[in-house]
Amino acid sequence: MKRALISDIHSNIEALEAVLADIRAQGVTEVYCLGDLVGYGPNPREVIDEVMKFQLCLLGNHDQGALFDPEGFNSGAERAIFWTRNQLENGPGTAVARQRRWEFLGELPRNRLEENTLYVHGSARNPLNEYVFPEDIYNKRKLEKIFALVPQYVFQGHTHVPGIFTEGFSFFSPEELDYEYRLGREKAMINVGSVGQPRDGDPRACYVVVDDDVVRFRRVEYPFDKTLSKIYDIPELDNFLGDRLRDGR
């Protein structure tokens, strides 16, 4: 079975549509989303409506921020969250559709364990909020503690930086892996990257396809100029949130 794992869409419908087209072209039958459907971008309603069709979706910290009081966000991210909440509460569409989206967000789980594989937004230790960055390979205490909670494999997002952490405390970017990694006996944490706001210097949308024991990183071009101009037109969304799409930062 082929399964697509996507994360951090952040209300970017152009990126999501391009990724879904690529997913269909791969013959993938299931889609799991690891959270952060909303926040930063201009199309929260459209993104939620698509994600509701997936086989699994987890809660991200920005989704939680939109549902409850945002805590620990910088001012630009917080403004985007309040704008998002207002869109979901008062935006166009029927009251029934608005209610359905709120209930969907409100019921998202924080993790999913399937046999030897855990799915989270952040980390095995703190599914919602903890970042595991490539430079954390130099923080052995942190990685040791997190790896102790890894059943065999963990798929995660949250940093928007795709790649694979192995138990020998190495990190491999998709390029270093030639975009492919075979799951083996070694524990691994796989960051699937971000669909809607990549931050590894490559502006293309990122996700992975898992085909039995092979993980393939996919990069997909999308018309980010369109997303960017929508962000420019919404005063509550900082222009920086559009600019960074062009740079992949």
**Residues that bind Fe ion in the complex, under the rule CB under 5 A:** 8, 36
- In whole angstroms, the minimum distance from the beta carbon of 230 to Fe ion comes to 18
Which is closer to Fe ion, CB of 105 or CB of 183? 105
Classify residue 4 by its DSSP letter.
E
Which is closer to Fe ion, CB of 58 or CB of 164? 58
Which is closer to Fe ion, CB of 65 or CB of 174? 65
- In whole angstroms, the minimum distance from the beta carbon of 95 to Fe ion comes to 29
Q: Where are the alpha helices (DSSP H) in the chain?
A: 13-25, 44-51, 61-67, 75-90, 95-106, 140-148, 224-233, 239-247
Which is closer to Fe ion, CB of 8 or CB of 22? 8
- In whole angstroms, the minimum distance from the beta carbon of 9 to Fe ion comes to 9
- Name the token pair of 10: 């952040």
Residue closest to Fe ion when measured from CB atoms: 36
Residue 126 CA to residue 124 CA, distance in Å, equals 6
Helix, strand, coil proportions of the chain in percent (round to 5)?
A: 35, 20, 45
Task: Calculate the CA 25 to chain-centre distance.
Answer: 21
- In whole angstroms, the minimum distance from the beta carbon of 184 to Fe ion comes to 28
Residue 249 CA to residue 180 CA, distance in Å, equals 23
Evaluate the CA torsion angle 170, 141, 116, 103 in order and state its sign. negative
- In whole angstroms, the minimum distance from the beta carbon of 192 to Fe ion comes to 12
Which is closer to Fe ion, CB of 36 or CB of 200? 36
- Name the token pair of 245: 């799409």
